Amino acid sequence: MADLLTEVKDRVLYLTLNRPDKLNAMSAEMMGALVDNLSRAATNPEIGAVVLTGAGRGFCSGGDIGGMRERNENANAGATQTIEDRVAGLRRGEEASLMLHEMAKVTIAAVNGPAAGAGLSLAMACDIRIASDAARFGTAFAKVGFSGDYGGTWSLTHLVGSAKARELYFLADVIGADEALRIGLANRVVPAASFKDEVHALASRIANGPTIAYGYMKANLNAALNHEFNELLDREAWGQTMTGRTEDHREAVKAFLEKRPPTFKGR
């Protein structure tokens, strides 16, 4: 069975990490498929939002520890990649985090269970994180002598602040869904019994909303992390002008005056 499952429902693309027997630990096939599907979704007008989740009881446990052991044993035997090849391969996989963060569509991590290491990094690269009350979060890297990848140090610092991010990385303690919500790592916590329904309700609401406006909003919010206020004013003026030329804007104004819900078409 494929390591990544895909489904489109109500303009929502569901990408499901699918190695449930290993808590959806990453594989080369999984990450290659994830990058490919995100790349296609980014330019597909039929996709209004993307949900990343995991099969079974976990979201993603990060790197495959068994694979790490095999790689280390091969290295000891002299059969190993060069450092340059290893870095290049890791960067190819890390493009998944970059696309989740930058693509002009709203991305949602549906954290149904444990999210650790690079799996947590993937969740943090998304715009919104909805956590089941069964979810658990941990950076995990310190436990296996790694420094971290997939953008997690950047994302966690911006989500919870430098002091808390350092604590979570250095100690690698696991926190529950309620604590993740309290510190700003999760946006919402919902009961496991209604998790899928609540995720879909939110995702389909976004996917059928003013998706062009969302794209400009996301670009502005990303820029706000690193740009000065005056630069944001310029970006907002441009985006506001461009979205004011869309069919969605005209429909929303008309619907407001007619006292009815708008029907957005993403154009």
Domains of the chain: 4-207 (3.90.226.10), 211-257 (1.10.12)
CA 230 from centre of chain: 29
pLDDT at 82: 87
Residue 161 has pLDDT above 90, yes or no: yes
Contact assessment for residue 50 and residue 107, using Cβ atoms and an 8 Å cutoff: yes
- DSSP output for 136-177: EEE--GGGGT----TTHHHHHHHHH-HHHHHHHHHH---EEH
Max Cα distance, the chain (Å)? 73
Candidate from 30-39, 72-81, 205-214, 226-235 with smallest mean pLDDT: 72-81
Contact 130, 110 (CB under 8 A): yes
Position 69 pLDDT exceeds 90: no
pLDDT > 70? residue 151: yes
Strand partners, 9: 12
Mean pLDDT calculated for residue range 99-106: 98
Predicted pLDDT of residue 144: 92
CB-based contacts of 199, cutoff 8 Å, min separation 6: 51, 53, 108, 110, 130, 190
Element (H, E) at 116: strand 114-116
CB 187 within 8 A of CB 129: yes
- Tokens 């919902």: give the residue: 190
What band does 115 get if pLDDT is binned at 50, 70 and 90?
very high
What is the Cα–Cα distance from 33 to 18, expressed in whole angstroms?
Answer: 11
- Token pair 């009881």 in the structure block, residue: 57
Q: Does the pLDDT at position 79 exceed 90?
A: no
Averaged pLDDT score across all residues of the chain: 94
Q: How confident is the model at residue 75 (pLDDT cuts 50, 70, 90)?
A: low
The amino acid that residue 36 corresponds to is: D
pLDDT band at 76 (very low <50, low <70, confident <90, very high): low
Instruction: Supply the pTM of this predicted model.
Output: 0.93
Tell me: pLDDT of 73 over 90: no
Mean pLDDT, range 227-255, rounded to an integer: 94
Tokens of 66: 């068994």
pLDDT of residue 78: 58
User: Cβ neighbours of residue 228 under 8 Å, at least 6 residues apart?
Assistant: none
- Is the pLDDT at 5 greater than 70, yes or no? yes
